[in-house]
Structure 1
């Protein structure tokens, strides 16, 4: 069966799932589910002596679903620690529902091979784990969800978490947990919040046991069943690993300048506008260019959003942004900011981007700047599979913000290495072309022809406007035609759009 963007979805993998019909096709009222809860009598303790004891107390057994968050990124110790203990306990056939998975989680490969883990749902796959899955390691396909899509699936009961194992930088003995105040601070616990609210059992794992009450708490005591103190939950230096990167690369700076000029010349750049930019080289540079123009014009942004970096928090402290809404911190500067700035707000992934609540904050975005591994002539974007077809990225909030912002800009070099990034058809669609307003490269800016209003605004602007087909042709002229990737028929991952419909699949590479 083909979906609305022409992607073939095998009938056998749908299993009752919807097929993608457009970015706002699936609407209507959906009932929220509720977790099971138990009362705690006065004097009862939630503090347990070991992770193994906590796991036993949760009643974890074969076939259940367990969840983790990724706020420690490449510095995370929690997932591997918990999985090793579960394996020793002989529990099998588990679903791992992580908000995202990184290189550090390669230990999951052995647990998949041994049958401890038989299903995975995540936003991202990287490193040895991703390569093994792309080469057919798992019998059941991974489910890839956006950050908003994951929150939606949890609230709707499509993803039912039996036990959430949540690392916290500090926690008291009654379960008031925070991403600050400890030895390994990660800042916002935005992705953990939804797990704590909807999991049947919640275990907080910390290396810093704080005095009661540990407030303000990211996760409060009313959601927590057990607290475990361990020696170390993570390495905070890994939070910024592979994320924040300042660039001096002339190509990336030209891309950023083109993107900034597009924003500045748009109807959306005005006093009180809102924006989200990423943490890569070009996107961080866009923030710097916009900042300079805001100072010249005396503009103050109403809010910025998303994964937060130090350049964003500096703008907050300089009075250039009124509010930051923070679902995840990408560097230690952002972690420090959330601890001290009252207008730096921690938010859950549902508040951030769940398309089926009464209004995620992405709905109020004016401008978003996003990166890409590939874009195609239909403006579809791939941010998860590389030029070899192997998973090496994450859905993240890409499609969530692209669908909702008034101006969605994709920044990408024309070629990366010897690989074209503007192609006829991307390997994997994460964000559909209908959500994308412009593609910005060092070789020019392609505005989506469907945005006739933007075409009219910029036709005499002096910006280097080109068609997306011209960008594709320039890329081909530089590096030639790329050899097509060879795939098997086996589906190794289902890519859900934010509304839960299937937008694409990832197949096993030959």
Structure 2
């Protein structure tokens, strides 16, 4: 049984019935000031205790011991189809099925897995994806009929709406990319069957995402699944003779291989947001962010950075490139999500290495395949909080998005101000441990202020967020006195976070927020596995 090295002394308990049922009788006020349940779906959880305060002890989990005596000596693990693979894996009611999201909105395998599960009559399955996308709206009927009980993973678009309206039979759980690896490693989630879609594999199970027809780039989000699941199925549309090289998934972890017509649509790994912004306001935000990084000395010879794949972040990366050229310096490495703009910096010699965790376009896939300085990483190396360090703290500056930020610099990335759960956490929480964290945000969206008194959903504590850049000014966290001093005399419009909030409300007014219902529909985990907040069912319109 896991032990906690530090017992948090400030638990407050409230007895509450939710929606007429004791979904979780005890609610505990955590260190972020949010009331969270003591149990989720019948399992004990721990409240967020503050950054770095929760330190479990004990050993990592492990899958069951396998024997070569149970596998063919010729290395052939291929079965006829996905149904046979699931039957041999022992699919039954109540199991946890995992998939990965490297194909993003072009994934074809997760939907097929649950089509087969439905045909087999399985019920009450927990789906544990590394992320979901609008293409997975196909699974809503299976959530309605009980084939799938709930999702533990990000929910974008239709699935988020379904959950927010209280239609999921159990409480959803959202984790960061690193938090997902942590949950599997620590035994918070036991995967019964992992299904890994790969663009290329051999019959033994060695697999990658950079060869074959349906390239997705990395398979790092499936690493924990391959290492810890009881049964592992690799599904591919390009089966090659042994060995499949390079292998991102090792066949020694794999039980069965399946050949199908197509595993994914590569063109759809390109998100609708992975385009450089053309908005004058967003371009101004990008330019101000880059200038801030230059005048404060964040951009220097050998610095490192991570920028997301949103339109504003991509523009910031382009401005970074301009500054690097002008100064005649190089960045030591850039953390990816890779895309064509980051690849251009690598190939021009302005960045020495890309340390890539996810591929956002086909140029990223090409570079990963061809360039030895385009390095594969995984949530274990990059983000896992229960490891012996990770890459996040070595990054000089990270550029992140958010749906809301409040006057205490707390930020929200999963819900909108109307309470709807529409986005995943991704690596966002993990990146907060970088040396400087900057959120470039519009001051308002659709005439709704982004800077608020208190965020709707707490995803990241304000002590880890350093700078907010808007088109109308830049707010620096008062804790970052060094940045405040360096920004003096820069000519940049430095303001307080309260000034930005007041300016937004002067323009837009202060909209009333709809009061959510009592029923908890989702829990937000912090990077260490504790519960930082919950999402409640949205109010009826």
* CA distance, structure 1, for counterparts of residue 177 and residue 294 of structure 2: 28
Whether 2:165 is the aligned partner of 1:135: answer yes
Listed as ranges, the gaps of 5+ residues in structure 2 are 1-27
**Equivalence for 1:277:** 307
SS in 1 for 2:35: coil
1:141, CA displacement in angstroms? 0.7
Whether 2:409 is the aligned partner of 1:382: answer no
1:412, CA displacement in angstroms? 0.6
* CA distance, structure 1, for counterparts of residue 351 and residue 331 of structure 2: 5
Name which of 194, 198, 206 aligns with 2:228.
Answer: 198
1:321, CA displacement in angstroms? 1.2
Count of equivalent residues:
508
Name which of 96, 99, 112 aligns with 1:81.
Answer: 112
Is the contact made by 2:308 and 2:314 (CA closer than 8 Å) also made in structure 1? yes
Is the contact made by 1:206 and 1:233 (CA closer than 8 Å) also made in structure 2? yes
Q: What do residues 308-352 of structure 1 show as CA deviations (whole Å, max 9, x unaligned)?
A: 111111111111111111111011111111010001111111111
Whether 2:344 is the aligned partner of 1:314: answer yes
Is the contact made by 2:337 and 2:358 (CA closer than 8 Å) also made in structure 1? yes
Relative to the length of structure 1, the TM-score reads 0.97
Name which of 440, 447, 450 aligns with 1:418.
Answer: 447
1:184, CA displacement in angstroms? 1.1
1:419, CA displacement in angstroms? 1.4
**Equivalence for 1:114:** 145
**Equivalence for 1:104:** 135
Whether 2:60 is the aligned partner of 1:32: answer yes
Is the contact made by 1:190 and 1:326 (CA closer than 8 Å) also made in structure 2? no
Listed as ranges, the gaps of 5+ residues in structure 1 are none
Matches within 5 A, 1:53-452: 53-122=84-153, 124-402=154-432, 404-452=433-481
SS in 2 for 1:136: coil
* CA distance, structure 2, for counterparts of residue 438 and residue 233 of structure 1: 41
1:28, CA displacement in angstroms? 5.2
Closer, same or farther: CA 233–265 of 1 in aligned 2, 3 Å? same
**Equivalence for 2:15:** none
* CA distance, structure 2, for counterparts of residue 18 and residue 228 of structure 1: 39
SS in 1 for 2:358: strand
Is the contact made by 1:77 and 1:234 (CA closer than 8 Å) also made in structure 2? yes
1:307, CA displacement in angstroms? 1.4
**Equivalence for 1:505:** 534
Is the contact made by 2:334 and 2:355 (CA closer than 8 Å) also made in structure 1? yes
Is the contact made by 2:524 and 2:532 (CA closer than 8 Å) also made in structure 1? yes
Is the contact made by 2:273 and 2:311 (CA closer than 8 Å) also made in structure 1? no
* CA distance, structure 2, for counterparts of residue 94 and residue 383 of structure 1: 27
Relative to the length of structure 2, the TM-score reads 0.92
- What CA RMSD, in Å, does the superposition of the two structures yield over aligned residues? 1.3
* CA distance, structure 2, for counterparts of residue 509 and residue 55 of structure 1: 36
**Equivalence for 2:5:** none
Q: What do residues 18-56 of structure 1 show as CA deviations (whole Å, max 9, x unaligned)?
A: 111222112354411111242234125200111000001
Q: What do residues 235-273 of structure 1 show as CA deviations (whole Å, max 9, x unaligned)?
A: 111100323111121100100011111111224321111
**Equivalence for 1:3:** 30
1:15, CA displacement in angstroms? 4.8
Which segment is superposed worse, 230-239 or 20-29? 20-29
* CA distance, structure 2, for counterparts of residue 31 and residue 506 of structure 1: 31
1:420, CA displacement in angstroms? 1.1
If asked which structure has higher relative contact order (CA below 8 Å, sep 6+), I would say 1
SS in 2 for 1:487: coil
1:126, CA displacement in angstroms? 1.4
SS in 1 for 2:408: coil
